[in-house]
Amino acid sequence: MSMMDLFRLDGQVALVTGGSRGLGLQLAVGLGDAGCRIAIAARKADELAAAESLLRSRGIEAVGVICDLRQPTAIPALVESVIQRLGPIDVLVNNAGTIWSAPAEEHPDEGWYKVMQLNVDAPFFLAREVARRCMIPRGHGKIVNIGSVAGLKGTQAGVHTVAYNTSKAALLNLTRTLACEWGPYGIHVNALCPGLFPTQEEGRSVLGHVREQVRARTPLQRLGGDEDLKGAIIFFASKASSHVTGQVLVVDGGESAQ
């Protein structure tokens, strides 16, 4: 096999949650350009339709599935829909997530539960369903959880995201634990931790006021762009990472290295 063939994903089926916009759409485009047939899941039909159209305009086979991942009962139906329309899932990207901003002492229960349901519960329940339906029976699979640099540290002055930071830290250890449990089945589980990307829809309102501070202290002197996660997701999804599991790759321009 040639070196470049290690990165090809021709004919594989990838499911990307939250794939209709922002980082999720960037990840879906990257996987599709590498040869994957793409399923994207999101709550809003209009955004799904627009994302499907974009993917197809690039020659990518793509389907959209409306799904609210905060409802555990919706997850088996999502997986079944993808299997019926594209075939068994080879690559699962747990990207869907949310953020809530409030000082810890005032943080509402509703906000805490919402963040945990989407950022921790849903990735586990979906990974469990995909593993037992598609990956364990066939002896292979790639799961990539989209964490955040917020899961590696606390918050800076003026940022109040206790639930988000906690959820992303939990997601990283879920990644390690599933990698340990499912390695014998040939399943690789890894995580990407983006830094601040302007395309993160919800993060614009919560973190917009610190954007220039982050840019200034980032060694590469810029925030994440539209192409910056594509290489990393293809690495984790492809044969190029055949001996890599339980790992966290930070994509933040070096900001967290300081």
Q: How far, in Å, CA of 57 to CA of 4, rounded? A: 24
Catalytic residue numbers, as ranges:
164
Q: Are 83 and 135 in contact (CB under 8 A)?
A: no
Q: Are 57 and 119 in contact (CB under 8 A)?
A: no
Distance of CA 246 to the CA centre of its chain: 15
Indicate the SS3 state at residue 202: helix
Residue 76: its H or E element: helix 75-85
Alpha-carbon torsion, ordered 166, 118, 249, 25, to 10 deg:
-140
Which of 187, 191, 163, 186 is CA-nearest to residue 176? 191
Q: How far, in Å, CA of 178 to CA of 148, rounded? A: 18
Residue 159 phi, psi (nearest 5):
-110, 130
